[in-house]
Amino acid sequence: MASEKNTIMGWVDRRLPVTENLERHLTKHPVPKKVNFFYLFGALLMVVFMIQVVTGIWLMMFYTNTEEGAFASVEYIMRDVEYGWLMRYMHSTGASAFFFLMYFHMFRGLLYGSYQKPKELVWLFGCFLLFLLMAEGFLGYVLPWGQMSYWAANVILSLFGAIPFIGPDLQVWIQGDFVLSGITLSRFFALHVVVVPLLMIALVVFHIFALHEVGAGNPEGVDIEKYRDKKGMPLDGAPFHPYKTFGALPAIGIFFIVFFAIVFFAPTGGGYFIEKPNFEEANFLKTPEHIAPVWYYAPFYSILRAVTFGIPFLGITSKFLGFIIFAASIAILFVVPWLDRSNVQSIRYKGMYSKIAMILFAASFITLGYLGTKPVNELRTIIAQICTVFYFAPFILMPIYTKYEKTLEVPDRL
């Protein structure tokens, strides 16, 4: 141990366990040798998080959080600030990348059972992070104070107003005003740059500490801790650093190629990353023809819109029921660890029903996403309703099909 040595590091280590923690989390932390590309999204998410923090700080230096100044300050960043456009596009593209990677990261979790005992807390912290990311993205989208910022925020805030009894007061309390105004903008700014990012950093730390406590999974669902060599390193494992850190670098390179291709050549993502109406300043007298969420909220927005009926005798309007089901679509992810009764982790060894369920879930999620960016019509509403059922069914039926389906034998080694 370095702590006994009479070196500067030894001096520090006797007062702060730096070496011990570096070994515990990096140089001696065992991770499975063989994983597939699905296991790279966590590292990429860390990269994107850092991009968002750094570019966010720069944007904050030039942004004005007032009703009168917000829109102009964004254009000031785009035109008069040196490389301001780069910071802004990296931040806006980073938001889309964040969700893209997050969805794959979580889908990996669903496929390979990364939520099963003892990883429940890792999964829970991750779900909280998704929730916070959604809040962060929403708050951030309001800040440029364009038409879509304003009207999309109106749609979302009005959901709170749909809650029976307390709704209207709650909405005013959140807005800080009787309408969405500069007061709302200021508080959203505070939440976007301080409160939510701080919570996210804390949760990322918890997420990783919990993961390092229980150990990373692998696509086979094999427990690598079973067989160890003489030094105590699992036979199917390798130290996180240098094997996984350097292993992630090519992936980070590929990610940056795609990321910067978007930043430099298609920063608005064809209207999916920055919507066209957002280049027009917010105007409370003029509602855009079609209010569409950014693509990453589209699946959930679709679920919200698919609920076209209420429960009148309970006094529940269709809007409020939509809000409940919309909230449930995220909330149900939190309980997945307790829904899965399978004796194997990975989809590779699960039965037919689990595979069908995952395909149904993914297909309905993508279809809902597509529908969410389009205006509603009768056919689309019916498709969205069917997809909403297919979105929930894999989870609601999970306790049944995972318990009774025939699973394959999991090998001993990777």
Q: Could you tell me which stretch among 9-17, 202-210, 239-247, 330-338 binds another protein (CB under 8 A)? A: 239-247
The token duo for 279 is: 């280049």
Nearest to 368, CA basis, from 295, 312, 291, 272: 295
Joined tokens for residue 125: 């912290």
Contact between 260 and another protein by CB under 8 A: the answer reads: yes
Report residue 128 CA to chain centroid gap. Answer: 9
Q: Which is nearer to another protein, 170 or 358 (CB)?
A: 358
Site string for another protein, 152-191 (x = CB under 8 A): ----------------------------------------
132 belongs to the binding site for another protein (CB under 8 A): no
**Residue 348 interacting with another protein (CB under 8 A):** yes
CB of 82 to another protein, least distance (A): 10
Phi, psi angle pair for 323, to nearest 5°: -60, -40
Decide whether 262 or 321 has the Cβ nearer to another protein: 262
Measured CA to CA, the distance from residue 345 to residue 316 in angstroms comes to: 39
Q: How far is the CB of 152 from another protein (least distance, A)?
A: 16
Q: Cα–Cα distance between 107 and 111 in angstroms, integer?
A: 6
Instruction: For residue 298, give the nearest of 270, 321, 273 by alpha carbon.
Output: 273
Told to check if 347 binds another protein by CB under 8 A, we report yes
Question: CA-to-CA distance for 295 and 100, rounded, in angstroms?
Answer: 10
Q: Residue from 15, 230, 231, 265 that binds another protein (CB under 8 A)?
A: 265
Residue 117 tokens, joined? 């005992």
Q: CB 362 → another protein: shortest distance, Å?
A: 6
Specify the 3-state DSSP secondary structure of 20: helix
Torsion over CA of 55, 57, 62 and 64, rounded to 10 degrees? 110
Asked if the bond preceding 118 is cis, omega within 30° of 0, the reply is yes
Helices 147-161 & 120-142 angle (0-180, nearest 10)? 120
Say whether residue 286 binds another protein (CB under 8 A). no
Beta strands in 134-250 (DSSP E): 237-239
Q: Is 22 in the site for another protein (CB under 8 A)?
A: no
Minimum CB distance to another protein smaller for 362 or for 393: 362
DSSP calls for 237-288: EEEIIIIIHHHHHHHHHHHHHHHHHHHHH-TTGGGTSS-GGGGSB--TT---
Which member of 2, 130, 233, 358 binds another protein (CB under 8 A)? 358
The span from the CA of 132 to the CA of 141, in Å, is 14
- Residue whose CB is less far from another protein, 8 or 257: 257
Q: Which amino acid is at 87?
A: M
Candidate residues 276, 286, 341, 403; the one interacting with another protein per rule CB under 8 A: 276
Q: Report in angstroms how near the CB of residue 250 gets to another protein at its nearest.
A: 4
Q: Does 247 bind another protein (CB under 8 A)?
A: yes
Total residues at the site for another protein (CB under 8 A)? 50
CB 241 within 8 A of CB 71: no
CB of 333 to another protein, least distance (A): 19
Coil vs helix vs strand at 69: coil
Q: Which residues of 24-50 are buried (b: 16+ CB within 10 A; e: fewer)?
A: eeeeebbbbeebeebbbbbbbbebbbe
Minimum distance from residue 28 beta carbon to another protein (Å): 16
For 328, the 3-state DSSP assignment is: helix
Nearer to another protein, 38 or 206 (CB): 38
Query: Applying CB under 8 A, which of residues 25, 212, 228, 355 lies at the interface with another protein?
Result: 355
- Report the residue from 16, 18, 179, 261 that binds another protein according to the rule CB under 8 A: 261
Shortest spacing between CB 254 and another protein, in angstroms: 6
Spatial distance between the Cα atoms of 109 and 358, rounded to a whole number of angstroms: 11
257 binds another protein (CB under 8 A): yes
* Site mask for another protein (CB under 8 A), range 363-382, x = bound: x--xx-xx---xx-------
Residue of 242, 287, 311, 403 that binds another protein (CB under 8 A)? 242
| Residue ranges that bind another protein, judged by CB under 8 A | 33, 72, 75, 78-80, 85-86, 89, 111, 238, 242-243, 246-247, 249-250, 252-254, 256-257, 260-261, 263-265, 267-268, 270, 272, 276-277, 279-280, 289-290, 347-348, 355, 358-359, 362-363, 366-367, 369-370, 374-375
